[in-house]
Amino acid sequence: MEMKRIAALLMALCLVFQLIPAPAGAAESPAITVGSAEAYPGNSFYINIEATGFSNLASLDLEIYYDSENLTLSSVTNGSLLSGGLVSVNDETPGVIKLSAAWLSGISEDGRLLRLRFTVNSDAAPGTYRVLAAVGDAHDVNL
C-alpha cells in the first residue's frame, strides 16, 4: 500500500511540473532527436534524425551508433536541413555513421538532418535495438 502512495505522489509531482509554463521568451534548448520504429527480423524500417532549437548553426559534427550485429544499414538520405550546406556522411564502419556539415550563413530552422533505412537481420533475437546520436561539435556563425 505504501508503494502505491509513493507512486501516486510521484505522478502528481510530474503532472505539477508539466503544468508550470516556461518563462516568456525562453529559448528552446538545441536538441538532436532520434526517431523510433518497430520491425521484425527480415523487415526494413526508417529512423529520422532531427534537429530542433538551433540558432545560426554554422557547423555540426554528429556520430550515430547502432547495433550492427542485429541491424544492417541500407541507406542514408540527407534531410532538408542539409540542403545548401557542405555535407559529408561516412557510413563505412559498421555500427557508426559520421555526419559533418557546415553552412556559410547558418541555419535556425527545425527539421530533418538524416533519414536512415535499416533492415533487422533475419537471425536477430527479439528485443530493443537502440540507435543513438552523439554531438561531437556544434558551432554558431559567431565563432
Residue 4 has pLDDT above 60, yes or no: no
Question: In this predicted model, what pLDDT tens digit does every residue of 127-139 receive, in sequence order?
Answer: 889 999 999 998 9
| CA-to-CA separations, 28 to 9, 31, 75, 126, in angstroms, rounded | 29, 9, 31, 37
Write down the pTM of the prediction: 0.77
What is the model's pLDDT at position 141? 83
| Contacts of the segment 72-75: beta carbons below 8 A, 24+ positions apart | 72/118, 72/119, 72/121, 73/97, 73/116, 73/117, 73/118, 74/44, 74/117, 74/118, 74/119, 75/116, 75/117
Question: In this predicted model, what pLDDT tens digit does every residue of 53-99 receive, in sequence order?
Answer: 999 999 999 999 999 999 999 999 999 999 989 999 999 999 999 99
Residue 16 has pLDDT above 60, yes or no: no
Quote the strand ranges of 7-130, DSSP E.
31-34, 44-52, 57-66, 71-78, 86-90, 96-107, 111-120
Q: Could you give phi then psi for residue 48, rounded to 5 degrees?
A: -100, 140
What is the model's pLDDT at position 15? 34
